[in-house]
Structure 1
Amino acid sequence: MRLVLSLFPGIGLLDKAFEQAGFCVVRGPDLLWGGDVRSFDPPRGIFDGIIGGPPCQKFSTAGAILGSERDDLIPEFVRVVEAVQPRWLVMENVPQALGHPAIPRDWFSFRLRDWDCGGHTARVRAFWTWPFMALVSPRASGQPSQSVMASTFKRGGGQYATDKHFLPGNLPIAEYARLQGVPEIGERLVEHKAGRAFAVHVLGNGVPLAMGRAVAEAVNRALQEEAA
């Protein structure tokens, strides 16, 4: 079975990576689109896997950002996993969420950097997997770009961004989408006249596509080894 439930899908960058790896992704409710996982009661025995990243603003050092939910929804991810009883799972968040008390101790955790996965940026995310340890990526040489984050739009192009080594907040939307590995999504955001704050927020909240692909491919390998 290849049916996967995506929790907190946002604009769907992690979903896209798993779809490209051959999984059929069903998106669960998301506050961005008017849904709420807290009232979500999914069926048991339908989904092979669960993927997703609960909102990170509760833990992120970037602080409050436009449209953010500061509630801790990691327990909701765990609740849905317990209800669905999938064969496997992947959860992602900021590294500051490592050690969260609600996360089961038998979930494996590791960090990935976008650049090490073949991406463009220095973005680092934490991942949890079960029942297998999906990936520990080797360090890549070279100099990555600064990271696209949901709060990037607030920084402008002034000295503050330069001094802090942040990605400027006044670049074209298409550039943020390119850095996240999804130029076609940037084109759609521009085509539909999305505001800069919204566009950068949804792009920066997503897992860079190269990082998502690395995880999806690692899950594929683990499942193949399990079936062998």
Structure 2
Amino acid sequence: MEHIRKAFDAVAAEYDAQREHVIPDMRNYYSAAVWAAESPSHTPAILDIGAGTGLLTALLLEKYPAANVTLLDIAEKMLAVARERFSGRENVCFRAGDYAQVDLGGPYDLACSALSIHHLDPGDKRRLFGRVYRALVPGGIFVNADQTEGETPYFTERYREYWNDFLKSGPLTSEERTEILTRRDTLDRNEKLSVQLQWLHEAGFTDVDVVYRNRTFIVTVARKENTAETGQ
């Protein structure tokens, strides 16, 4: 993961400004993730996995202003941007570390991630889903706004063409586009959506679904069974 840390530390300063020109339909994408992040508590404990500069956390705090949020990321310069963003917020804490390896802590009411887990190798993704399950309280929710591989090479290529066309249609310079495409081609380890849903079920989640999809970009939601609901 050291190469990922270096890559994202290098772009920390301009990361937020580029997002809407990099991710198609970004506002609806993130809105779907926030909508899916349901908690019976107005003060949920939330873990933001691969939190980066805190974009997702900022939106979650609009929904749950009194939430206690932990931002976990390997790139310390990205977290430095997040620290500035949430300066003075006593209910927000920061952890620098490789979430594929470190203890996630908990228990949490919500675990969320945006555009991060796709960097992991398949085995680490699968294990992470199980570790997230164990870090959640009964009834807890895991929301993952991420990227997927197409179900066949045909769709993988079509999704890539769609994304390339979007990047070309915006205000990014050719140098910026090249940098983004280089990161995509060297750091992304996308997995099929069907495989990720299977892994979530195998981890133990009882309610698993997809609440948003725009070609490569998806939001999955998984809920840990609440034993109180089943009378156990």
TM-score when normalising by structure 1: 0.31
TM-score when normalising by structure 2: 0.31
Give the helix-richer structure, 1 or 2. Answer: 2
